[in-house]
Amino acid sequence: MSCHSSPREDIGHYPALTRRHLPFWVSFVITPPPPADLPALGRAVAKARERAGLTLDGLAEASGVSRRMLVEVEAGRINCTVGVLHAISHGVGVALPDLVRAACPHLDNSAA
């Protein structure tokens, strides 16, 4: 009989470590957040770019982010880095939190 014959919830790559061995509060720490709404983020970036009167090429020049990356972000097909979003926000003249707020619809956006 194997030492792993009893049903249990293994954690990650550590089969010997089960939820029974962890303090109760760890389950709160390892619960991932809901996924970002990338299409909504893309629409917010496109809207901010249009309000700034910039084309994709103009924003690419103003932000230092490639046109191809901007196309992917606006289409909601890429989960880009904070650095890319920071550059885009400076390129369009919008604060970073205001730009990315659309990606977190599960939060109360009125409190920010």
What's the pLDDT tens digit per position in 14-42?
555 555 666 665 555 567 778 889 999 99
Residue 8 placed within a domain: no
111 pLDDT band, cuts 50/70/90, is very low
Residue 21 placed within a domain: no
Find the domain containing 85 and state its range: 38-111
CATH of the domain at 46: 1.10.260.40
Residue 106 placed within a domain: yes
Residue 44 placed within a domain: yes
Residue 19 placed within a domain: no
Residue 42 placed within a domain: yes
Residue 62 placed within a domain: yes
Give the model confidence (pLDDT) of 56-99 as tens digits.
999 999 999 999 999 999 999 999 999 999 999 999 999 999 99
SS3 of the chain: the string is: CCCCCCCCCEECCEEEEEHHHCCCCHHHHCCCCCCCCHHHHHHHHHHHHHHCCCCHHHHHHHHCCCHHHHHHHHHCCCCCCHHHHHHHHHHHCCCHHHHHHHHCCCCCHHHC
Residue 51 placed within a domain: yes
Task: Say if residue 107's pLDDT is above 90.
Answer: no
